[in-house]
Chain A
Amino acid sequence: MKSQQAANRPDNTAFTQQRLPAWQPMLSAHFVIPGFLLIGMAFIGIGVALYITSQNIQVLEKDYTGTGQYTACSECADMQTIPCICNVTFSLTTLFTGPVFLYYGLSNYYQNYRKYQVSRDDVQLWGDVTKSPGDACAPYQYIDNKPIAPCGSIANSMFNDTFSLYQIINGTMKLVPLDGKGIAWWTDYNIKFRNPSAQGSLQDAFNGTMKPVNWSKPAYELNPSDMNDNGFLNQDFLVWMRTAALPDFQKLYRRITSGDYALGLPPGDYVLQIEYNYAVKDFGRKKVVFSNVTWMGGKNEFLGVAYIVVGSLCLVMSVVMLVVYAKYKFADENA
C-alpha cells in the first residue's frame, strides 16, 4: 500500500538529485601565477630549442625563373627553344651536411584552388583507365573522345623541369647521383595510386587512352631509366599529385644519399643543369632548394620565435598578475 502511495516519488540517486560527486577546482592566485610562469618558461625552452635546431639547418636557394633580379636561366625564360638547357652554378665553402634534399619551389601557384584540387579522378588513378574519367576532370577529360590518362588539371599541369647536379672537380663535371626513390608518401605509392593492369606491358595497359595535353611523353614513359617508375606510380607524378597547402610551396625532387655524397656535398663548385620546360613567368617564380633536414623537418625559424614570443607573453602576464595581486593584497591588509 505504501509503495503504491509513493508511486510517483522520484528516485533518490545522485544523478537525479544532481548530487554527483564532483571536483570543483578552486583556483587561486597562488596556483595561477606560478602556473603562468611555468607555461612561459616551458614555451621559451621549446622555442629556444627549436630556434637553435633551425639555425643548424643549411639551406641553399637558387631562383631560376630567368626574369627580374635573378638572371639564372634568363636564356630560357622566353620559352622559345624547347627543350632549353640552362646551368646554375654555385660554390660551397663548407660541407653541406647530408643527407641533402633537393626541392623545387613555385610561388604564387594556387594548387589549393578548389576547382584545381578536385580536377582529378581517384578511381582512374587507382588503376581503372577503362572507365570514363569523372566530370571533375573537365576540361581535361577527353581528347578526340578518348579518355585522358591521367585526367584532370593537376596531372596536366605536372611540373616537368628536370635537374641534374654536377660537381666541378679540376674542370671536369662529376655527376652527383640523385636518388628519386621513396620521395612520395608510402600510402600514395602503395594504396592510393595503382597502375592499370594488363596482359602485356604498361603501354598496353594505357591502350586507348590519351596523354595529357601538356605532357610531352605518355604516362608510361615518364621515367625511361627505370621501368618501375612509370605510369601512375611515377614518384614525381605522385609528389605533384599531392597538392600543396599554400600558393608558395616546395616539393621534394631528389635526395642525395649515395656514393661519395652520402655524408653531404663537400666544399667546391657545382653546376645544376636544368631542362627548362615549365612556364611560370606569367604568374610567379620557380626555384631550386638544397636543404638538409632535422627531426623537425626543414628550416623553420618562425616556429621557434613564435614559441619564444608566446612564452614571453605568459611570463609578462604572470608578472602583471603578481603586481596586481600584491597590490590587491596589500590594500586588503591595510583596510
Chain B
Amino acid sequence: MFSVQTFGDTGKMKDYHYTGPVEHRFSPYAFNGGTVLAVAGEDFAIVASDTRLSEGYSIHSRDSPKCYKLTDTTVIGCSGFHGDCLTLTKIIDARLKMYKHSNNKTMTSGAIAAMLSTILYGRRFFPYYVYNIIGGLDEEGKGAVYSFDPVGSYQRDTYKAGGSASAMLQPLLDNQIGFKNMEGVQHVPLTQDKAVQLVKDVFISAAERDVYTGDALRVCIITKEGIDEQTVALRKD
C-alpha cells in the first residue's frame, strides 16, 4: 500500500499551512486504527476488539475484527498496521503447527507469548507495527493476559487495552477492575458476566471519543468449554 507520508506519527494529519517545499518519503508503515482489549478472570479470559479498518480519513471496512483464534484456549488481538497484523498471525499459526508436529501437543498461552516476543524482536530494526495482546487460559485454567509492545517486550497482566483508544480505556480499566485510585472500596473479584458487560460499556465509550474505533465490537470469551464469540453494534459514524 503506497501511503504518502503526509501523516505525522500515529496517523494523525499535520496542520496544512505552507512551510516551503516538503519532501514526501515513502513509508512502509500505515496506521489502520482499531482498539483491542483483554481481561483475565479467575477461570475465563475475554479478548475484544472493534471491527473498523480505517486509513487516514477513509474507512476501508466495517467488518474487520482484530481478534484471531490461535488455539482452543488462546486468542490474540492485533491492532496497528493491518498488513503486519496479517503476516504476523500467519507466522504465529505456522509456528504453532510446527510445534504441534514436533512436540505432539498444543502450545500453552505462556509459551505462545514467549515465542511471540522472540518473533517480534527478530525484527528489532524494522519492526512489525502491531500492538498485540494475547488472552487465554494458562496451564492451571486461570485467565491470563499478555501484553506486548511492537518490539517484543511483554508481561503478564490482569487487563490491558491496546490500539488507538488505549490511552482512554486503560485508566477506566485501572479504576474498574484494578480498583486503583479509589479509597475504601471493597475489592470484589470479577465475574464473567460483569466483565463482559464492562467490556461492552468501555468500547461504547471508546467509540464516542476515538474516530478510529467503532462500527461493531467482537467479544471472544475463553473458558474451559471453548471460545464463545459475540458481536455488538457500535456507532458507525
Q: Do A and B come from one complex?
A: no
